[in-house]
Chains A and B, each alone.
Chain A
Amino acid sequence: MRDWEIRISEASGVPYYRQIVDQIGQLVRSGHLAPGEKLPSVRELAAELLVSLITTRRAYAELENAGLIIRRQGYGSFVAEEIERASHEQALKKVREDLDELIHTARRMGLENAEMRKLFEELIAGEEKDHEQ
Protein backbone atom coordinates (compact mmCIF):
# COMPACT_ATOMS: atom_id res chain seq x y z
CA MET A 1 0.00 0.00 0.00
CA ARG A 2 1.30 3.44 -0.88
CA ASP A 3 1.90 5.90 1.93
CA TRP A 4 1.66 8.96 -0.28
CA GLU A 5 -1.10 10.58 -2.27
CA ILE A 6 -1.61 13.43 -4.66
CA ARG A 7 -4.46 15.87 -4.22
CA ILE A 8 -5.87 17.62 -7.24
CA SER A 9 -7.55 20.96 -6.68
CA GLU A 10 -10.06 22.22 -9.21
CA ALA A 11 -10.32 25.62 -7.54
CA SER A 12 -6.61 26.50 -7.44
CA GLY A 13 -6.47 27.50 -11.11
CA VAL A 14 -3.13 25.68 -11.41
CA PRO A 15 -3.15 23.31 -14.42
CA TYR A 16 -3.64 19.69 -13.32
CA TYR A 17 -0.39 18.46 -14.88
CA ARG A 18 1.49 21.17 -12.97
CA GLN A 19 -0.14 20.10 -9.69
CA ILE A 20 1.02 16.52 -10.30
CA VAL A 21 4.56 17.65 -11.23
CA ASP A 22 4.83 19.86 -8.15
CA GLN A 23 3.51 17.24 -5.73
CA ILE A 24 5.54 14.31 -7.06
CA GLY A 25 8.58 16.61 -7.18
CA GLN A 26 7.99 17.51 -3.56
CA LEU A 27 7.56 13.84 -2.56
CA VAL A 28 10.81 12.92 -4.31
CA ARG A 29 12.82 15.80 -2.85
CA SER A 30 11.51 15.15 0.66
CA GLY A 31 12.37 11.46 0.39
CA HIS A 32 8.76 10.24 0.74
CA LEU A 33 9.35 8.66 -2.61
CA ALA A 34 12.61 6.75 -2.43
CA PRO A 35 15.10 6.49 -5.31
CA GLY A 36 14.22 3.45 -7.43
CA GLU A 37 10.62 3.33 -6.21
CA LYS A 38 8.10 2.42 -8.88
CA LEU A 39 5.41 4.97 -9.73
CA PRO A 40 1.88 4.08 -10.81
CA SER A 41 1.38 3.82 -14.56
CA VAL A 42 -0.04 6.77 -16.47
CA ARG A 43 -3.40 5.00 -16.84
CA GLU A 44 -3.54 3.99 -13.17
CA LEU A 45 -2.72 7.47 -11.93
CA ALA A 46 -5.23 9.08 -14.31
CA ALA A 47 -8.05 6.84 -13.03
CA GLU A 48 -7.03 7.53 -9.45
CA LEU A 49 -6.81 11.32 -9.77
CA LEU A 50 -9.75 11.60 -12.21
CA VAL A 51 -7.69 13.48 -14.76
CA SER A 52 -7.09 12.71 -18.42
CA LEU A 53 -4.35 10.49 -19.78
CA ILE A 54 -2.71 13.40 -21.61
CA THR A 55 -2.56 15.36 -18.38
CA THR A 56 -0.84 12.49 -16.57
CA ARG A 57 1.42 11.76 -19.52
CA ARG A 58 2.48 15.39 -19.69
CA ALA A 59 3.23 15.44 -15.95
CA TYR A 60 5.43 12.34 -16.23
CA ALA A 61 7.23 13.81 -19.25
CA GLU A 62 8.02 16.98 -17.30
CA LEU A 63 9.23 15.00 -14.30
CA GLU A 64 11.45 12.99 -16.60
CA ASN A 65 12.84 16.15 -18.21
CA ALA A 66 13.59 17.53 -14.77
CA GLY A 67 15.57 14.37 -14.01
CA LEU A 68 13.28 13.35 -11.14
CA ILE A 69 11.90 10.17 -12.67
CA ILE A 70 13.15 7.68 -15.19
CA ARG A 71 10.96 5.83 -17.63
CA ARG A 72 12.01 2.38 -18.67
CA GLN A 73 10.28 1.11 -21.79
CA GLY A 74 8.04 -1.80 -20.86
CA TYR A 75 8.77 -1.56 -17.12
CA GLY A 76 7.20 1.69 -16.04
CA SER A 77 8.35 4.86 -14.29
CA PHE A 78 10.71 4.98 -11.34
CA VAL A 79 12.06 7.64 -9.03
CA ALA A 80 15.51 8.58 -10.35
CA GLU A 81 18.58 7.48 -8.41
CA GLU A 82 20.99 10.27 -7.48
CA ILE A 83 18.49 13.01 -8.04
CA GLU A 84 20.92 15.73 -7.05
CA ARG A 85 23.38 14.87 -9.74
CA ALA A 86 20.79 14.36 -12.42
CA SER A 87 19.06 17.67 -11.76
CA HIS A 88 22.33 19.59 -11.41
CA GLU A 89 23.55 18.20 -14.70
CA GLN A 90 20.24 19.14 -16.32
CA ALA A 91 20.53 22.66 -14.93
CA LEU A 92 24.10 23.04 -16.19
CA LYS A 93 23.08 21.83 -19.61
CA LYS A 94 20.13 24.21 -19.83
CA VAL A 95 22.10 27.29 -18.70
CA ARG A 96 24.93 26.40 -21.03
CA GLU A 97 22.54 26.24 -23.99
CA ASP A 98 20.93 29.55 -23.07
CA LEU A 99 24.29 31.28 -22.60
CA ASP A 100 25.53 29.91 -25.88
CA GLU A 101 22.54 31.39 -27.65
CA LEU A 102 23.04 34.75 -25.90
CA ILE A 103 26.70 34.87 -26.89
CA HIS A 104 25.73 34.29 -30.51
CA THR A 105 23.19 37.11 -30.34
CA ALA A 106 25.71 39.44 -28.67
CA ARG A 107 28.34 38.72 -31.34
CA ARG A 108 25.82 39.35 -34.08
CA MET A 109 25.09 42.71 -32.51
CA GLY A 110 28.80 43.55 -32.48
CA LEU A 111 29.70 43.14 -28.79
CA GLU A 112 33.36 42.35 -27.97
CA ASN A 113 34.35 39.42 -25.77
CA ALA A 114 35.77 41.77 -23.13
CA GLU A 115 32.51 43.71 -22.95
CA MET A 116 30.54 40.49 -22.56
CA ARG A 117 32.80 39.26 -19.73
CA LYS A 118 32.49 42.61 -17.96
CA LEU A 119 28.71 42.57 -18.30
CA PHE A 120 28.53 38.98 -17.00
CA GLU A 121 30.71 39.83 -13.99
CA GLU A 122 28.66 42.92 -13.22
CA LEU A 123 25.38 41.02 -13.35
CA ILE A 124 26.64 38.19 -11.12
CA ALA A 125 28.01 40.76 -8.63
CA GLY A 126 24.65 42.56 -8.68
CA GLU A 127 22.78 39.32 -8.06
CA GLU A 128 25.07 38.51 -5.13
CA LYS A 129 24.39 41.90 -3.62
CA ASP A 130 20.64 41.39 -4.01
CA HIS A 131 20.89 38.05 -2.20
CA GLU A 132 22.78 39.55 0.72
CA GLN A 133 20.14 42.19 1.36
Chain B
Amino acid sequence: MSSELIEVSNLEIRRGAFSLEIDQWSLGPGEVVGLVGPNGAGKTTFLERLAGLRGSRAGKVSVLGRDPRVDPSVREELGFMSDDMPLFTLRIGVLLRMLSGYYPNWDAGLVETLVEKFKLDPGDKVHKLSKGQGTRLRLITAMAFRPRILLLDEPATGLDVMGRRTLLGSVLDIVRDPERSVIISSHMLADVERVADRLLVLDQGRLIREGRTDSLVGESRSLEEALLDWGAAG
Protein backbone atom coordinates (compact mmCIF):
# COMPACT_ATOMS: atom_id res chain seq x y z
CA MET B 1 0.00 0.00 0.00
CA SER B 2 1.11 3.53 -0.75
CA SER B 3 2.45 5.63 2.12
CA GLU B 4 0.50 8.64 0.83
CA LEU B 5 -2.49 9.63 2.93
CA ILE B 6 -4.45 11.05 0.00
CA GLU B 7 -4.09 10.33 -3.70
CA VAL B 8 -6.02 12.11 -6.41
CA SER B 9 -5.87 11.27 -10.10
CA ASN B 10 -7.74 12.55 -13.16
CA LEU B 11 -10.29 14.23 -10.94
CA GLU B 12 -13.08 16.13 -12.65
CA ILE B 13 -15.89 17.88 -10.81
CA ARG B 14 -18.65 19.89 -12.50
CA ARG B 15 -20.88 22.42 -10.86
CA GLY B 16 -22.92 24.29 -13.46
CA ALA B 17 -20.50 26.17 -15.70
CA PHE B 18 -17.65 25.64 -13.26
CA SER B 19 -15.31 22.68 -13.52
CA LEU B 20 -12.45 21.57 -11.31
CA GLU B 21 -9.83 19.32 -12.87
CA ILE B 22 -6.80 17.89 -11.11
CA ASP B 23 -4.66 15.36 -12.98
CA GLN B 24 -2.45 14.17 -10.20
CA TRP B 25 -1.94 15.19 -6.60
CA SER B 26 -1.09 13.51 -3.31
CA LEU B 27 -0.72 14.26 0.38
CA GLY B 28 2.12 12.63 2.26
CA PRO B 29 2.24 11.83 5.98
CA GLY B 30 3.48 14.44 8.45
CA GLU B 31 3.04 17.50 6.31
CA VAL B 32 1.03 20.71 6.24
CA VAL B 33 -0.26 21.70 2.81
CA GLY B 34 -1.57 25.20 2.08
CA LEU B 35 -4.41 25.39 -0.43
CA VAL B 36 -4.56 28.87 -1.95
CA GLY B 37 -6.07 30.75 -4.86
CA PRO B 38 -8.66 33.45 -5.56
CA ASN B 39 -12.36 33.17 -4.74
CA GLY B 40 -14.03 30.71 -7.07
CA ALA B 41 -10.79 28.80 -7.73
CA GLY B 42 -12.36 25.57 -6.46
CA LYS B 43 -10.69 25.27 -3.06
CA THR B 44 -13.86 24.46 -1.11
CA THR B 45 -15.09 22.14 -3.87
CA PHE B 46 -11.81 20.23 -3.70
CA LEU B 47 -11.85 19.92 0.09
CA GLU B 48 -15.50 18.83 0.09
CA ARG B 49 -14.66 16.14 -2.44
CA LEU B 50 -11.75 14.92 -0.30
CA ALA B 51 -14.07 14.79 2.70
CA GLY B 52 -16.64 12.83 0.70
CA LEU B 53 -19.25 15.57 0.96
CA ARG B 54 -19.62 15.78 -2.79
CA GLY B 55 -19.10 13.45 -5.73
CA SER B 56 -17.13 13.82 -8.92
CA ARG B 57 -17.83 13.26 -12.58
CA ALA B 58 -14.61 11.36 -13.20
CA GLY B 59 -11.32 10.36 -11.62
CA LYS B 60 -10.13 8.72 -8.44
CA VAL B 61 -9.92 9.98 -4.86
CA SER B 62 -8.24 7.73 -2.34
CA VAL B 63 -8.10 8.73 1.33
CA LEU B 64 -6.17 6.21 3.44
CA GLY B 65 -6.84 3.75 0.64
CA ARG B 66 -10.60 4.37 0.48
CA ASP B 67 -12.89 6.83 -1.28
CA PRO B 68 -14.88 8.60 1.45
CA ARG B 69 -17.74 9.07 -1.02
CA VAL B 70 -18.03 5.29 -1.40
CA ASP B 71 -16.85 4.20 2.04
CA PRO B 72 -17.85 6.79 4.69
CA SER B 73 -16.08 4.78 7.42
CA VAL B 74 -12.87 6.59 6.46
CA ARG B 75 -14.38 9.77 7.89
CA GLU B 76 -13.56 8.48 11.35
CA GLU B 77 -9.97 9.40 10.54
CA LEU B 78 -10.76 12.54 8.62
CA GLY B 79 -11.52 15.88 10.26
CA PHE B 80 -13.25 18.53 8.17
CA MET B 81 -13.92 22.08 9.26
CA SER B 82 -15.52 24.85 7.23
CA ASP B 83 -16.55 28.25 8.46
CA ASP B 84 -20.22 27.77 7.53
CA MET B 85 -20.63 24.28 8.96
CA PRO B 86 -23.87 24.18 10.96
CA LEU B 87 -23.74 23.64 14.71
CA PHE B 88 -26.56 22.35 16.88
CA THR B 89 -28.44 24.83 19.04
CA LEU B 90 -27.08 23.62 22.35
CA ARG B 91 -24.77 24.92 24.99
CA ILE B 92 -21.06 24.50 24.04
CA GLY B 93 -20.41 22.04 26.86
CA VAL B 94 -23.45 19.91 25.98
CA LEU B 95 -22.54 19.85 22.27
CA LEU B 96 -18.98 18.74 23.00
CA ARG B 97 -20.16 16.03 25.41
CA MET B 98 -22.63 14.79 22.83
CA LEU B 99 -20.04 14.67 20.03
CA SER B 100 -17.57 12.87 22.28
CA GLY B 101 -19.95 9.90 22.32
CA TYR B 102 -19.62 9.45 18.57
CA TYR B 103 -15.85 9.26 18.40
CA PRO B 104 -13.82 6.53 20.14
CA ASN B 105 -10.67 8.67 19.80
CA TRP B 106 -12.26 11.81 21.28
CA ASP B 107 -9.53 13.55 23.29
CA ALA B 108 -11.24 15.24 26.23
CA GLY B 109 -7.94 16.67 27.46
CA LEU B 110 -7.27 18.35 24.13
CA VAL B 111 -10.83 19.71 24.05
CA GLU B 112 -10.43 21.17 27.53
CA THR B 113 -7.11 22.80 26.59
CA LEU B 114 -8.54 24.29 23.40
CA VAL B 115 -11.74 25.53 25.06
CA GLU B 116 -9.53 27.36 27.52
CA LYS B 117 -7.02 28.64 24.94
CA PHE B 118 -9.83 29.84 22.69
CA LYS B 119 -11.52 31.47 25.68
CA LEU B 120 -14.87 29.74 25.15
CA ASP B 121 -17.42 29.35 27.92
CA PRO B 122 -18.96 25.83 27.98
CA GLY B 123 -22.15 27.43 29.33
CA ASP B 124 -22.65 29.68 26.29
CA LYS B 125 -25.36 28.84 23.79
CA VAL B 126 -23.96 27.83 20.41
CA HIS B 127 -26.48 29.80 18.35
CA LYS B 128 -25.60 33.00 20.19
CA LEU B 129 -21.87 32.84 19.48
CA SER B 130 -20.06 35.49 17.48
CA LYS B 131 -18.52 34.57 14.12
CA GLY B 132 -15.08 34.13 15.68
CA GLN B 133 -16.41 32.06 18.60
CA GLY B 134 -18.25 29.83 16.13
CA THR B 135 -15.04 29.34 14.13
CA ARG B 136 -13.17 28.34 17.28
CA LEU B 137 -15.85 25.86 18.32
CA ARG B 138 -15.87 24.29 14.83
CA LEU B 139 -12.09 23.95 14.99
CA ILE B 140 -12.31 22.16 18.31
CA THR B 141 -14.91 19.72 17.04
CA ALA B 142 -12.78 18.98 13.94
CA MET B 143 -9.60 18.37 15.94
CA ALA B 144 -10.96 16.71 19.08
CA PHE B 145 -10.94 13.16 17.75
CA ARG B 146 -7.36 13.49 16.58
CA PRO B 147 -7.95 12.62 12.93
CA ARG B 148 -5.10 11.33 10.75
CA ILE B 149 -6.04 13.97 8.19
CA LEU B 150 -7.45 17.39 9.01
CA LEU B 151 -9.02 19.52 6.27
CA LEU B 152 -9.48 23.17 7.21
CA ASP B 153 -11.54 25.45 4.99
CA GLU B 154 -11.05 29.10 5.99
CA PRO B 155 -10.40 28.25 9.65
CA ALA B 156 -9.33 31.78 10.55
CA THR B 157 -12.58 33.61 9.76
CA GLY B 158 -13.33 36.02 12.57
CA LEU B 159 -10.28 35.04 14.62
CA ASP B 160 -8.19 37.71 16.31
CA VAL B 161 -4.38 37.59 16.50
CA MET B 162 -4.31 35.31 19.53
CA GLY B 163 -6.96 33.05 18.03
CA ARG B 164 -4.93 32.75 14.83
CA ARG B 165 -1.81 31.90 16.81
CA THR B 166 -3.67 29.19 18.70
CA LEU B 167 -4.92 27.87 15.36
CA LEU B 168 -1.39 27.77 13.86
CA GLY B 169 -0.04 26.13 17.02
CA SER B 170 -2.78 23.50 16.89
CA VAL B 171 -2.03 22.75 13.23
CA LEU B 172 1.68 22.31 13.93
CA ASP B 173 0.89 20.26 17.03
CA ILE B 174 -0.93 17.79 14.80
CA VAL B 175 2.13 17.22 12.60
CA ARG B 176 4.32 16.58 15.63
CA ASP B 177 3.00 13.13 14.85
CA PRO B 178 4.74 12.29 11.55
CA GLU B 179 1.77 10.10 10.54
CA ARG B 180 -0.76 12.93 10.52
CA SER B 181 -1.26 15.73 7.99
CA VAL B 182 -3.23 18.92 7.55
CA ILE B 183 -4.56 20.77 4.51
CA ILE B 184 -5.31 24.39 5.27
CA SER B 185 -7.17 26.66 2.86
CA SER B 186 -7.12 30.28 3.91
CA HIS B 187 -7.02 33.86 2.71
CA MET B 188 -4.65 34.60 5.59
CA LEU B 189 -1.71 34.21 3.22
CA ALA B 190 1.02 35.15 5.69
CA ASP B 191 -0.27 32.43 8.06
CA VAL B 192 -0.40 29.83 5.30
CA GLU B 193 3.09 30.73 4.12
CA ARG B 194 4.29 30.47 7.69
CA VAL B 195 3.08 26.94 8.47
CA ALA B 196 2.69 25.18 5.10
CA ASP B 197 5.44 22.83 3.92
CA ARG B 198 3.86 22.57 0.50
CA LEU B 199 1.43 24.63 -1.52
CA LEU B 200 -1.36 23.72 -3.87
CA VAL B 201 -2.39 26.73 -5.94
CA LEU B 202 -5.73 26.66 -7.72
CA ASP B 203 -7.09 29.18 -10.19
CA GLN B 204 -10.39 28.82 -12.05
CA GLY B 205 -10.59 25.13 -11.32
CA ARG B 206 -7.05 24.34 -12.45
CA LEU B 207 -3.95 23.42 -10.48
CA ILE B 208 -1.50 26.12 -11.55
CA ARG B 209 1.35 25.60 -9.05
CA GLU B 210 2.32 22.80 -6.70
CA GLY B 211 5.42 22.20 -4.64
CA ARG B 212 7.50 23.20 -1.64
CA THR B 213 6.52 26.55 -0.18
CA ASP B 214 10.08 27.89 -0.08
CA SER B 215 10.93 26.99 -3.66
CA LEU B 216 7.60 28.25 -5.05
CA VAL B 217 7.55 31.54 -3.17
CA GLY B 218 11.28 32.27 -2.92
CA GLU B 219 13.01 34.56 -0.47
CA SER B 220 12.53 37.91 -2.15
CA ARG B 221 8.73 37.98 -2.15
CA SER B 222 5.77 36.99 -0.04
CA LEU B 223 3.12 34.42 -0.93
CA GLU B 224 0.77 37.31 -1.65
CA GLU B 225 3.25 38.76 -4.15
CA ALA B 226 3.83 35.33 -5.64
CA LEU B 227 0.08 34.89 -6.24
CA LEU B 228 -0.01 38.27 -7.97
CA ASP B 229 2.91 37.20 -10.17
CA TRP B 230 1.07 33.99 -11.09
CA GLY B 231 -2.08 35.92 -11.89
CA ALA B 232 -3.90 34.04 -9.14
CA ALA B 233 -4.70 36.79 -6.69
CA GLY B 234 -8.31 37.54 -5.98
User: Could you list which residues of chain A lie within 8 angstroms of chain B, going by C-beta atoms?
Assistant: 10, 15-17, 43-44, 46-47, 50-55, 58
Contact = CB atoms under 8 A, between A and B. Distances in A.
Contact of B172 (A17, A47, A54): A47
Contact of B197 (A10, A16, A53): A53
Most chain B CB within a 10 A radius of its CB, from A50, A51, A55: A50
25 contacts: A10-B194, A15-B219, A17-B214, A43-B175, A43-B176, A44-B176, A46-B175, A47-B172, A50-B165, A50-B172, A51-B194, A51-B195, A52-B32, A52-B172, A52-B195, A52-B197, A52-B213, A53-B30, A53-B31, A53-B32, A53-B172, A53-B175, A54-B197, A54-B213, A55-B214
Given A53-B30, A53-B31, A58 B214 contact: yes
A117 B206 CA distance: 59
9 closest A-B pairs by CB: A47-B172, A43-B176, A50-B168, A54-B197, A52-B197, A52-B195, A47-B173, A15-B219, A53-B197
Nearest to A47: B172
B195 A50 contact: yes
B176 A47 contact: yes
Interface residues of B, number: 20
A43 B182 CA distance: 14
Interface of B: 30-32, 165, 168-169, 172-173, 175-176, 178, 190, 194-197, 212-214, 219
B194 to A, nearest CB: 6
Contacts of A17: 214
A43 B212 CA distance: 17
B196 A52 contact: yes
Contacts of A10: 190, 194
A124 B211 CA distance: 45
Nearest to A41: B176
Contacts of B169: 47, 50
A53 B197 CA distance: 6
A120 to B, nearest CB: 33
Contacts of A47: 169, 172-173, 175-176
Contact of B194 (A43, A44, A52, A58): A52
B192 to A, nearest CB: 10
Nearest to A51: B194
